[in-house]
Amino acid sequence: MSIDCPGDCGHLVAAHRWEQEHPKPLTESDIPFPDVSFPAELIHTRQGAMSGIGYTVAVYARERRSLTDSEILAAAHALAETYRTLLSGIYYEKLPDNLIAAGLYTALAKFIVEEKKREAEHPETSPLKDSEIFHLLVFFERFGRLRSNGRPRTRALLEFLHAQFPTEIGPAEEEPRIIMP
pLDDT at 1: 46
The domain spans of the chain are 37-164
pTM: 0.79
**Using CA atoms, how far apart are residues 22 and 163, in angstroms rounded to an integer?**
20
Tell me: the pLDDT tens digits for 140-167? 999 999 888 777 788 888 888 998 888 7
33: left (phi over 0), alpha (psi -120 to 50) or beta: left
**Using CA atoms, how far apart are residues 176 and 181, in angstroms rounded to an integer?**
13
User: What is the biggest distance separating any 2 CA atoms in the chain, rounded to whole angstroms?
Assistant: 75
Q: Is the CB of residue 43 less than 8 Å from the CB of residue 76?
A: no
Tell me: the pLDDT tens digits for 32-54? 888 999 998 999 999 999 999 99
